[in-house]
Amino acid sequence: MYSPTEADAVIIGAGPVGLFQVFELGLLEIKAHVIDSLPEVGGQCIELYPDKPIYDIPAIPVCTGRELTNNLLKQIEPFSPQFHLGQEVTQLEKQADGRILIGTSQNYHFLAKTVFIAAGVGAFQPRLLNLEGIEAFVDKHVYYRVKHPEQFIGKRIVICGGGDSALDWVLYFADKAASVTLIHRRDDFKGAPQSIAKMRELCAAGKIQLLIGQITGYEAQEDCLTEITVTDIDGNTKIVALNDLLIFFGLSPKLGPIAQWGLDIDRKQLVVDTEKFQTSIPGIYAVGDINVYPGKKKLILSGFHEAALAAFAAAAYLNPEKPIQLQYTTTSPKLHRALGVKPATFE
């Protein structure tokens, strides 16, 4: 284990509520680290509905998931949070000294005085190919993400999926791989229109092959995949020889290891009080869709309120002797310094 990063606050989840938690902690002069399983911030807002309108953010009549995320990032900029993206929190344990040890899937560790779980409905993970025995080939010849594109150059590759990830890699590898076969269960793609058009062009020019159907079987020799069987909707099958299989079926959230952290859970949500939004372990707070309390409504605006009260609770927990004054961003010179803005001048 590397020596852990020491922190006053670690936020698990970079969705809207996790991002606003940075802001509320920042006003109280608490610096935060933010961990998220996705490679970019925004959580469900970015992963599930980046371009769909949201109408119930107070004082913002309408914004998209992406706009909300960008605005929050701008709002928390003065507090320069440290983001640790593309890694899932796998371990969370209270230590004898009261601090909380956090471990991630990238083997990164933190020792935090306070933790804010803003994990929504869980960590987004790739949807898997449903084919018996295929697990054994994952990261050998079956991939759910491309980390090293150069490893596929000159290979016969099969790419599965109907969205932008699948299309982008098809276009990228079209003239670099020995052969590229795209497989999608419907002849209907949900990607950028220009990517779809480019893919169709390559297909018409014979540079790539497009098959409509699903993978229903495979052959392997020792540790190597040799061919897959593709079955179309009418039950016709086709054999495709290959070296590597790249699967892009999108991402879906899974609650994952949160249930094993020893926190009180009700129907797979973390039980909190409505004064501090603290879980059953002091110093660990839960905000946003992951928590539950009487009357809970899963709204972004509820999460913002929860983040504010959790921040005040954490400030009292971190410095029990220091009284906390409620200050207003409109008038407080202290908050103006924290925000890096000039004091208001009155004419």
Residue 122 contacts other proteins per CB under 8 A? yes
Q: For the chain, how long is the longest CA-to-CA vector?
A: 81
Among 5, 252, 302, 327, binds other proteins (CB under 8 A): 252
Residue 48 contacts other proteins per CB under 8 A? yes
Residue 103 contacts other proteins per CB under 8 A? no
Q: Give the range of 57-65, 222-230, 245-253, 322-330 binding other proteins by CB under 8 A.
A: 245-253
Binding to other proteins in span 270-289, by CB under 8 A: 289
Among 21, 37, 69, 269, binds other proteins (CB under 8 A): 269
Residue 138 contacts other proteins per CB under 8 A? no
Residue 268 contacts other proteins per CB under 8 A? yes
* Interatomic CA distance for residues 344 and 347, integer angstroms: 10
Among 31, 298, 305, 336, binds other proteins (CB under 8 A): 298
Distances (CA, A) of 1 to 9, 95, 103, 185, 317: 21, 16, 10, 44, 28
For the chain, the first-to-last Cα distance in angstroms comes to 58
Residue 322 contacts other proteins per CB under 8 A? no
Q: Which is nearer to other proteins, 35 or 76 (CB)?
A: 35
Least spacing, CB of residue 57 vs other proteins, in Å:
18
Q: Give the range of 7-15, 144-152, 267-275, 332-340 binding other proteins by CB under 8 A.
A: 267-275
Neighbours of 74 (CB within 10 A): 9
Distances (CA, A) of 64 to 22, 61, 251: 21, 11, 20
CA neighbor of 121 nearest in space, from 311, 313, 281, 251? 251
Q: Give the range of 10-18, 121-129, 155-163, 317-325 binding other proteins by CB under 8 A.
A: 121-129
Q: Which is nearer to other proteins, 145 or 268 (CB)?
A: 268
Residue 263 contacts other proteins per CB under 8 A? no
Q: Which is nearer to other proteins, 23 or 248 (CB)?
A: 248
- What does the block give as tokens for 56? 């119930």
Dihedral through CA 19, CA 20, CA 21, CA 25, nearest 10? Answer: 120
Least spacing, CB of residue 47 vs other proteins, in Å:
10
Q: Are strands 109-117 and 100-104 parallel, antiparallel or unpaired?
A: antiparallel
Distances (CA, A) of 17 to 20, 72, 282, 307: 5, 9, 20, 7
Least spacing, CB of residue 256 vs other proteins, in Å:
8
Helix, strand, coil content of the chain in percent (nearest 5): 25, 30, 40
CA-only gyration radius of the chain, Å: 24
Among 31, 94, 127, 190, binds other proteins (CB under 8 A): 127
Interface residue list for other proteins (CB under 8 A): 48, 120-122, 127-128, 130, 214, 249, 252-255, 267-269, 289, 298
